Every structure is written in C-alpha cells, then in structure tokens.
Amino acid sequence: MVGITSYGFYIPKFRIKIDDIAKVWGKNPDEIKKSLNIFEKTVSANDEDSLTMAYESTSRALNKIKINKKEIKVLFFGSETHPYAVNPASTILGEFLGIEGNYLAYDTEFACKAATGALISALSLIKSGYSNSAIVVGSDKAISKPHDSLEYTVASGAVSFILGNKNLALELVDYESFSSDTPDFWRREGIRYPSHGGRFTGKPSYFYHIQRVSEIIFKKNKLKPKDFTFGVFHMPNGKFPLQIAKILGFRSSQINDSFIIPYFGNCYTASSLMGLAAILAKVKENNLIYLCSYGSGAGSDAFIFRATKKINQIKENFQEKLKDKKYIDYPTYLKFINII
C-alpha cells in the first residue's frame, strides 16, 4: 500500500471581509455574499508568497513524523503563482528543507489541480519502487484584477503531504482523472491577471469534469457516495461544491467539515487539499474519504483514501488555526498583494 504519512497546512493570519471590498466599488455586499456564499477570505502578507507558505506547511508536515530525509527522492510543487517564471520553486523548497541533491524535483501548473496531478505522479513513483517517500505541495497567493468578480473569492494558503509506503495515516484505495480542452479560465504569458469565460465556468467545466471522474471511480471500485464518511471538493465559490455534492448523492453531513470557503476563500491549487486538511482532525480509523479536485482548462483528479489508526498521531486542529486572524482594510489588502 501507498498513501499519506503526514500533512501540514499554512493559513495566513490576515483576512479581508467581502463587505470591505464591495463598499470600495459601490456594490451591495449582501447581494455579493448571497451570490457567492463567501463572507471573508485569507490574505497573505506582502512578505509572503507561495514558496514561503509552502515552506511553512511542509515543515509542519515533516515535524509530525520521524523520517530519514535521504529517503525523500521526489518533491513536487503545484501552484499557479510560482515566485519565478523561470527557476523552480521545488528546488528552493528542497534546499530550505535540507533535502540532499539526489531527488526528483519539478513545479507543476494546471490551474487549481496542479497539486493533485502531482499527487498522482508521486504516488505512482512510490508504487513503482522509485522512492520510499515523497513531498507534494499545493500553494498559492492568488490575485485578481481589482473590481473583477474573482476579487471576492481568490485567497492564499498552502498544504503539504508526505507520501510513503509505510506508517500510513491514509491508505490510497484508488485514483482517476478526467480531462478536456474547455476554456473557462486562462492567463497568457506576461499578463498579470487571469481572464474567465463565465458561460463555461459552471456546467461544461466544473460540474461536467467532477461528475464524470466521480462516476468512473465509483463504478470502478463498486462504491456509492453513501459509503464515504467525508467528501471533499474543489471550492471556487460557496455554491458549486454544495451543488455538485448534491448531484452526486452526498449528504450535507458528509461535506460540512470540508466546506471551508465561506470563511477562507479559494486558495486555488491548495483549495481541495485544504478541504482535506480541514477534516483530518475528525477522521477515524477505517473512514473512507473522497477527494475530488478541479482545474480550469480543464480536468479533475479523484482519490479514495481509507484512514488507518496512524491518523491519530498526526492530527492538527484546523478550526483553531482558521480562527487565528486579523482583519485588514482594502488599501492594506492592495499593498499585501503587491498592487500598490
């Protein structure tokens, strides 16, 4: 068996309320909150980026377990906001963590599923015998054009997983992917802010890909949504995850704990992984967990995990960290995301 041996997450301390963004642009905050089901979002400080957040989350994951770093021969860094266009963040992270040079490192980018794609690659390399351990990180400092609808949702955060073939906290049962060329969201080289095609974002993109990959993996493993204790979905806003869960047949009780976006925002590559991190404090041995990401462009990765008794040794109180916050105003927000 292969799977997850440890995890760590980093939640920036700063928050901005949707009310404060809406009032700057003369919008009705109540209408926006009702439309998006988001009330506030995380904001990384001006001295933070996807790499510094990744270091924080990975350090926390490593500190929970005893591991020989020489066994880590794989380090993948998934993000839409790598600090360099040319120069891998994965090797910088490896250097900071003290991992020796005999390891495979690369950065991945596939909108919000860059890290789950890397998760599949890393798990496969462990299954093949290439490495006994691997690190996969999803981290983003997401920004949008001011006064764009994305400004109300894009957020910051990082999640890291240590993968292995022994002492597993979450055993991998199976994974599947489903992909297509669907232009719902894009950003050309040299352009700072992303663009999005509204009519493609919902039914032909998010819902179509998650529904298709879910049907495939459920049929393959002869499972139904009712068989899972927890369901976790990518969270681009506060309505889509609830809708797709209902379409697939999940109960609200199965996704409530992972549904963090109303008070977190969409941290892009880390979004679905942050949802997974949010539930692990409540997971018990033999619980089945369903994780499904989505990335614009487009595609979804689906995973089935089974918890072992080792999960109790690495649990961390997600809600306690989420409540540790400090609110900022809109000018400070612009400063923190390097617009002013």
Task: State the angle between helix axes of 50-63 and 89-97 in degrees (0 to 180), rounded to the nearest 10.
Answer: 40
Tokens 């928050």 sit on residue: 15
Per DSSP, the residues of 240-305 read HHHHHHHHHT--HHHHTTT--GGGT-B-GGGHHHHHHHHHTTT--TT-EEEEE--BTEEEEEEEEE
> What residues have CB less than 8 Å from 300, skipping those under 6 apart?
113, 177, 178, 179, 209, 210, 212, 213, 234, 292, 293, 294
Residues 110 and 296: their CA atoms lie apart, in Å, by 7
| Cβ contact 4:228 at 8 Å | no
Active-site residues: which are they? 80, 112, 234
Whole-angstrom distance, CA of residue 62 vs CA of residue 77:
16
Alpha helices in the chain, H assignment, sequence order: 18-24, 29-36, 50-63, 89-97, 114-128, 198-201, 208-221, 240-248, 252-255, 271-279, 318-322, 330-336
Query: Would you say 307 and 220 are in contact if contact means Cβ atoms under 8 Å apart?
Result: no
Report which of 283, 300, 254 is spatially closest to residue 119, judged by C-alpha positions: 300
